[in-house]
Amino acid sequence: MLKQFLLVSAICFATQTSAKLDTLPEEFSDFSLDRDITISYDDLDMLLDMTVIDLGRSDRRFRKSKANIGTRMRAHKNNDTALEANRFFYEEVTTSKLKEGFHKVRVSLEKVPDQVPLNALVLDEQLAYWLNLYTTALLEKLIEHYPVIDTQELLFGEQSILDEEFIHVAGYQLSLNDIQHNIVFKKFGKNKPIVMYGFHQGNIGSPNLRKEAYKGSEVYHQLVENGEEFVNSNRGMQVRGNNKLYLSLYYKQVEALFDDYENQLKNHIEDYTEGDLKNSVELADNFQLSIDDWGINDLYRTERTFGASTATNRAALLNAVASASGDVGVGAVNSSYISDAFMERTVEFGRFPPEVWEKLKQLNTKRKENRGSVKIKDLDANQE
């Protein structure tokens, strides 16, 4: 009969400085089989629920270039993608104390390894942790730089926010690209390329920003939802002419997830395509990466409407969505929904459910005694 034991060996935590991530360290590469330890994201759930507008699945409609009577709209070159993707209340968040909430949550998430080593978590919990840390840190940076209309230079220019090493986890100095490419893609992506849909980039043309945090028990279901939404939208995939397949430029960023990139990516798109386009996708001989929309996914600047109750298209209704959802949108500007007490509770001890604390105490006691990292080994009961 086999019995699991937690064996502890050396761990070093940073004090004042952090090391750069050159290779995937043991703290990030190992994992546990013990599902008793789960991380709570109640604070991030609350923030995202208040600041993200869910526009639902794409109906593949194109926005008309001419607005209805009484309505003027900001020009948008991507009329095929302008009505898609969830929106974020950048306009309201950047002028309220809510922006501090994203910073506090990011700092709180950075402290998780001080309470429990990441390799004491099962893989699903680890993946949810990295995706939530990435999302929170990205939004924090975008809020810092807002207003911005086109995100391409901000993301991929000489001073890219994706390369900025401002995240500190378990003694390592990380960038957003480190989390995406050097941790998640390397550790999870080869077996499950669906992880690509967990990396929203602040623009309409990227995978969706969810209205909730990722959860360890649901993370792959959430990623599949993101994948289905993205592939079946104009910004993810289009078929034109004689079964000519066009895909998002975002798929160029995930090339490392596929050994046989062109064939495997096309198979992936075929698997996720729904409805009438499925047969056309299957018949396409190849694809072209050409779809993009770098416009920031804010609520007003991309799709601003002015005094038009007669407007009927989906973009023109964005203002109505904001007005009708005071509890989760504009009404959140006073930031009273997230009290300082709640934020402090999360930073200090609210990241783990109460029933987990006794286990964490025991784990941390062993870690201090042995100064080690956690590994899982199966030992025969006779070896006790």
Which of the pair, 9 or 237, is modelled with greater confidence? 237
What pLDDT is stored for residue 63 in this prediction? 59
What pLDDT is stored for residue 359 in this prediction? 64
Lowest-confidence region among 92-96, 278-282, 354-358 = 354-358
What pLDDT is stored for residue 64 in this prediction? 57
Q: Is the pLDDT of residue 6 over 60?
A: no
Spatial distance between the Cα atoms of 292 and 78, rounded to a whole number of angstroms? 8
pTM of the model: 0.79
Average pLDDT, stretch 271-281?
94
What pLDDT is stored for residue 301 in this prediction? 56
Going by C-alpha positions, the residue among 238, 229, 235, 243 that lies closest to residue 272 is 229
Q: Is the pLDDT of residue 366 over 80?
A: no
Average pLDDT, stretch 169-173?
95
Spatial distance between the Cα atoms of 166 and 164, rounded to a whole number of angstroms? 6
Angle, vertex CA 87, rays to CA 84 and CA 91, nearest 5: 140
Q: Is the pLDDT of residue 48 over 90?
A: yes
What percent of the chain is modeled with pLDDT above 70?
70
* HSE (side-chain half, CA atoms, 13 Å) at 74: 13
Phi, psi (deg, nearest 5) at residue 30: -80, 175
Q: Is the pLDDT of residue 319 over 50?
A: no
Average pLDDT, stretch 132-136?
98
Average pLDDT, stretch 331-348?
43
Q: Is the pLDDT of residue 4 over 70?
A: no
Q: Is the pLDDT of residue 126 over 80?
A: yes
What pLDDT is stored for residue 151 in this prediction? 97
Q: Is the pLDDT of residue 1 over 60?
A: no
Spatial distance between the Cα atoms of 308 and 106, rounded to a whole number of angstroms? 39
Average pLDDT, stretch 223-238?
97
Q: Is the pLDDT of residue 255 over 60?
A: yes
What pLDDT is stored for residue 193 in this prediction? 97
Average pLDDT, stretch 224-231?
98
Around Cβ 109, how many Cβ atoms within 10 Å? Answer: 26
Confidence band for 15, pLDDT divided at 50, 70 and 90: very low
Average pLDDT, stretch 190-208?
96
Around Cβ 151, how many Cβ atoms within 10 Å? Answer: 23
Q: Are 264 and 196 in contact (CB under 8 A)?
A: no
What percent of the chain is modeled with pLDDT above 90?
56
Confidence band for 242, pLDDT divided at 50, 70 and 90: confident
What pLDDT is stored for residue 219 in this prediction? 98
What pLDDT is stored for residue 79 in this prediction? 82
Beta-strand runs (E) in the chain = 2-8, 19-20, 52-53, 87-88, 167-169, 172-174, 237-240, 244-248, 287-291, 374-380
Buried b (16+ CB within 10 A) or exposed e, 363-374: beeebeeeebbb
The region, left, alpha or beta by phi > 0 then psi within -120 to 50, assigned to residue 62 is beta
What pLDDT is stored for residue 309 in this prediction? 34
